[in-house]
Amino acid sequence: MNKWGVVALLSGLFLHAQSGFEPAVYTDRYGDLPYRILLPENSSTEQKYPLIVVLHGAGERGKDNWSQLKHGSDLFLQPEHRTKYPAIVVFPQCPKEHYWATILERSGPEKFIYAAKPRKNPLQKQLIGLIKKIKKTHAVDPNKIYVGGLSMGGMGTFELVYQRPRMFAAAFAICGGAHPKIAKKLRRPAWRIDHGEADEVVPFSLSKKMMEALTAHGATVDFYPYPQVNHNSWERTFSDPGFLPWLVAQRKGK
């Protein structure tokens, strides 16, 4: 088998493995936002479920509506997790030419410069619209809505909570960053922040500053620095047996 055959085979196996996530598209005046959605097994109309929205990194942007499942989706497909932590899980996909977050510039020692007062960009508006749609069409527990992401998705997580601070019970930002001045509006949800101390793509200092700013404003923050870990700290997060139990235990008003 030549290399293209191997690529096709691996892609097919990946798609088969992630087949629990059904493809869908959210459309509004800003265009189409592809996403994949995983529903609880044997769901009951008498029960409401947590909603978990996961934002991918820059490398998974596009419009194929499956690349965004590359990191983290297998966590939610594990049979024991589907049984013990039933939830509605959504992986939207960012277009190739866009970002989840408002990045003003990519330069300087910290590589990323963020807005101190980020405006709600079209993708943020679409994400909010998608969440509202899923709340209307599925049995979502409004007190158990979570958002998180990795790299660009971690950056987008900070900004999405900034835009809708009362919407989420918890948020997780993996190797992301934001302007520390927005932390005052982010103190309502419970936070988990993970970052590799040896990250050469998104500096560790960006997460550390957000952790410090959030803590200073009274937010509840679990901070996980990983020594000698580069830009793949999501592997530690999604393999942590405590991650999913922590997430689904969070509830607005606790």
Q: In Å, what is the CA distance from 246 to each residue of 73, 87, 124, 251?
A: 17, 14, 26, 11
Q: Which two tokens stand for residue 249?
A: 């235990």
Angle, alpha carbons 106-111-117 (nearest 5°): 65
Per-residue confidence (pLDDT) for residue 73, from 0 to 100: 97
C-alpha span between 179 and 189 (Å, rounded) = 17
Structure-derived torsion over alpha carbons of residues 23, 62, 71, 105, reported in degrees to the nearest 10: -140
Q: In Å, what is the CA distance from 215 to each residue of 4, 159, 169, 218?
A: 49, 17, 17, 5
Mean pLDDT of 236-252: 97
Comparing C-alpha atoms, which of 248, 185, 237, 213 is closest to residue 51?
A: 248
Mean pLDDT of 17-33: 89
Structural domains for the chain: 21-249 (3.40.50.1820)
Q: Using one digit for the tens of pLDDT, what is the confidence trace for 27-45?
A: 999 999 999 999 999 877 7
Q: Using one digit for the tens of pLDDT, what is the confidence trace for 75-124?
A: 999 999 999 999 999 999 999 999 999 988 887 667 899 999 998 889 99
Q: In Å, what is the CA distance from 131 to each residue of 12, 82, 138, 176, 214?
A: 29, 21, 10, 22, 24
Comparing C-alpha atoms, which of 147, 149, 150, 148 is closest to residue 231?
A: 150
Is residue 173 classed as helix, strand or coil in its secondary structure? strand
Q: Using one digit for the tens of pLDDT, what is the confidence trace for 150-196?
A: 999 999 999 999 999 999 999 999 999 999 999 999 999 999 999 99
Positive/negative CA dihedral, 235, 237, 240, 243: negative
Angle, alpha carbons 195-185-50 (nearest 5°): 70
Per-residue confidence (pLDDT) for residue 108, from 0 to 100: 67
